[in-house]
Structure 1
């Protein structure tokens, strides 16, 4: 089967200047790139005059672990041009998930992964076997998260690893890598990973160095502790002997804007100058998304998040939280102080009674519905929702985001969360067209060629997806065709949650998944395994 794109403005993913020409696709591969290519007999000829043709977008940071179990359409991804995605980020992966702590683990991850079916795979091996047979809307890979590893073995205890559990943790990492996991992720900011010692991390991640695959790191602190947290993961990757990807590289907290991200970049570039393989990624918004329980000071969670949330249902528990939430800490970023409750939006709830708070800041919700203060509402939500309450932190300065976007080694991601909600973070639906539209075409932060490279070849290379992310002969035929004036995002922080629009055509492995801005229903996706 042949498809010929004629007279296109081609952005090949390399970052080099675009050029006009034709691309011939045969079955699942690009057969030729040139000008005046003849159309084979029976070929589907598409006149691309005035349109851009580029590789499909590669999103290496989506929390879509559970979605293949639900036979989801992939509309949010496909309509913004994503043809390959990686899940299992931030230490929060679907597996491993053992029976002993399953209820706690799935409740904790609900605001990130969404509800987990009861019959979900419990090990990476079982997950991989399922994914091999699944009908996927696009190519899909999954990392293993060290947070999931710890919870599956120890629950939310802050006790140190026993020798036996540390060996089991390393064995989980080894198994996932042997089965083709493209990397391992950690979420040092989150409970209970924040209780891991440096040496415990090194021990469990040792297999990663042997496979030479990346550690993707949600660092310990992205506010006051940003620089020290970057230094910590650089040392960790160096000790393990693996590449490092700093996830959603940003500086949070108004007092840090315009300063700390540049200090963190200096640390990153110093490591690169020493020969260490360090890169980073970012999303094109000034607000992040996470769980409300990240607002709990670790000192209140000595006996686990569940116990801490239970105490928030008492008057004494609320008062303890109120006092703790109004302090600063040398080893933990307290966004209640550095950002303020008026910049923390309530985005996800599971309880019907709490839907009235959706889209409001914690401060506004408290004032509107008669709570004593913002801490009282936050306590109510954590007590009634636990880990199921998601928030959006309007925590970043645009100039800082732009600085990261301009780094030659930074990669565009979405960091999409899949909690059950009507008001998701807009990055779920529009990160990729937004980056191209706003950062390249409107504000000229980067060139279109650079923008497309950050969404195609750079992420594909980072995870070793050979033959992906470029328009050249022999590469997989993952291609997007669009009018740059029409291809756009349609979601924002106001609660508008519409998918992207404007794609004329999208192919995955030569199979059309979008035609004239509509899904075809084809599901040509593959389960991807690393081979290096």
Structure 2
């Protein structure tokens, strides 16, 4: 007897072939039979008449790491046909956690029933909520680096690199599928290329994936692509460029050069691919605008810089000098966690500035 039987649907297998009318039999979470199953019994039958049936989509770039514990039914993904999520992207993962690092602000603002510190305790906490999707996790480099040396703006010492290598190997041994970097965020932005190459070599040894939110997606994107390819050449790791784009309208003309760099690398045998989304907008933390020196350290240290008038003026001057787009009208504050500033949620950045 089957556990489930999906009947009367048209099956599209994801290869591009024409749909085929057939039934699907499932047993022990595995597709057991495909064909005419009218004479086969099942514990539950799902009528798919006049419907298309296809494999679930894999969301290769997700940030649902902790939100699946809050909303395990995952309606925003399930209703789109997503059945597997790859989390731990852009350098941020739910582990490893130590006294030296922290979860991203929007993650830390949630209430969790269980605490965790490594990949094993994280997945134990996650599986207790019975998420509706399958979950694959990468190790976030920012989380990894900060767990060893905090948010300092300096190269890691030999001993600190060894600690990172040990924690990375431990995570890979226990089910992680690769490493991600977020080189536009602290402390990833402070990381020299040599450090990333050493960690990527470990990923290559495990046949994992190195996924990167690169250092620059705007006017210096070609340099970022070259850096990512250099990591692949030095480590042998499979490369996934996250949300590939040329950010800023004045940089759209660079896309052909970007694609040529990737295609040339692939022609040379480098395993590099990319994912992207189909709209000309992005979503990230507003502190991405801060110069590197202003983003170093704990949050209270960063806030102290912003509250100091002279330092704040220096920061503003650097931000204005570094931006090629005068697009403050196009930046919308999507969410705010500090109570007194919640009134700015949903407003343009220029509107919020005029009210302060």
TM (norm. structure 1) is: 0.62
Q: Distance in 2 between matches of 1:216 and 1:339?
A: 30
Query: Could you tell me which residue of structure 1 aligns to residue 188 of structure 2?
Result: 193
Q: Distance in 1 between matches of 2:111 and 2:186?
A: 19
Q: Distance in 2 between matches of 1:193 and 1:38?
A: 56
Range with bigger deviation, 208-217 or 291-300: 291-300
Query: Could you tell me which residue of structure 2 aligns to residue 61 of structure 1?
Result: 61
Q: Distance in 2 between matches of 1:146 and 1:195?
A: 12
Q: Once superposed, what is the RMSD of the aligned Cα atoms?
A: 2.3
Shift in CA distance, 43/299, structure 1 to aligned 2, threshold 3 Å:
closer
> Cα offset for 1:57?
1.9
SS of equivalent residue, structure 2 residue 314: helix
Contact 1:66 1:116 in 2 (8 A): no
Query: Could you tell me which residue of structure 2 aligns to residue 362 of structure 1?
Result: 349
> What do residues 223-250 of structure 1 show as CA deviations (whole Å, max 9, x unaligned)?
1111110111111122111100111111
> Cα offset for 1:306?
4.3
1:327 and 2:314 correspond: no
Report which structure shows greater RCO (CA 8 Å, sep ≥6): 1
- 1:476-515 → structure 2 map (5 Å cutoff): none
Shift in CA distance, 159/41, structure 1 to aligned 2, threshold 3 Å:
closer
1:243 and 2:238 correspond: yes
> Cα offset for 1:144?
0.8
Shift in CA distance, 179/302, structure 1 to aligned 2, threshold 3 Å:
closer
> Cα offset for 1:305?
5.8
Aligned residues: 355
1:10 and 2:11 correspond: yes
1:233 and 2:220 correspond: no
Shift in CA distance, 16/179, structure 1 to aligned 2, threshold 3 Å:
same
> What do residues 164-222 of structure 1 show as CA deviations (whole Å, max 9, x unaligned)?
10100111111111111111111111111111111111123321111111101111111
Contact 2:186 2:296 in 1 (8 A): no
Query: Could you tell me which residue of structure 1 aligns to residue 26 of structure 2?
Result: 25
Q: Distance in 2 between matches of 1:116 and 1:261?
A: 41
Q: Distance in 2 between matches of 1:254 and 1:136?
A: 39
SS of equivalent residue, structure 1 residue 185: strand
Query: Could you tell me which residue of structure 1 aligns to residue 79 of structure 2?
Result: 79
Return the match for 2:260 from 262, 266, 270.
266
Q: Distance in 1 between matches of 2:338 and 2:286?
A: 14
Shift in CA distance, 274/134, structure 1 to aligned 2, threshold 3 Å:
same
Range with bigger deviation, 123-132 or 84-93: 123-132
> Cα offset for 1:43?
5.8
Shift in CA distance, 189/166, structure 1 to aligned 2, threshold 3 Å:
same
SS of equivalent residue, structure 1 residue 346: coil
SS of equivalent residue, structure 1 residue 4: strand
Return the match for 1:203 from 181, 198, 208.
198
Q: Distance in 2 between matches of 1:131 and 1:47?
A: 31
Range with bigger deviation, 212-221 or 292-301: 292-301
1:318 and 2:317 correspond: no
Q: Distance in 1 between matches of 2:155 and 2:163?
A: 14
Query: Could you tell me which residue of structure 1 aligns to residue 338 of structure 2?
Result: 351
Contact 2:200 2:231 in 1 (8 A): no
Q: Give structure 2 stretches of 5+ with no counterpart.
A: none
Q: Distance in 2 between matches of 1:349 and 1:42?
A: 49
Contact 1:142 1:182 in 2 (8 A): yes
Q: Distance in 1 between matches of 2:310 and 2:200?
A: 41
Q: Distance in 2 between matches of 1:12 and 1:161?
A: 47
Q: Give structure 1 stretches of 5+ with no counterpart.
A: 329-333, 372-532
> What do residues 346-388 of structure 1 show as CA deviations (whole Å, max 9, x unaligned)?
0111122212111111012223x2x4xxxxxxxxxxxxxxxxx
> Cα offset for 1:71?
6.4
Contact 2:200 2:237 in 1 (8 A): no
> What do residues 328-356 of structure 1 show as CA deviations (whole Å, max 9, x unaligned)?
3xxxxx3xx42511111101111222121
Q: Distance in 1 between matches of 2:286 and 2:125?
A: 32
> Cα offset for 1:9?
2.4
Q: Distance in 2 between matches of 1:149 and 1:30?
A: 37
Contact 2:93 2:139 in 1 (8 A): yes
Contact 2:11 2:20 in 1 (8 A): yes
Q: Distance in 1 between matches of 2:124 and 2:138?
A: 15
SS of equivalent residue, structure 1 residue 282: coil
Query: Could you tell me which residue of structure 1 aligns to residue 95 of structure 2?
Result: 95
Contact 1:11 1:17 in 2 (8 A): yes
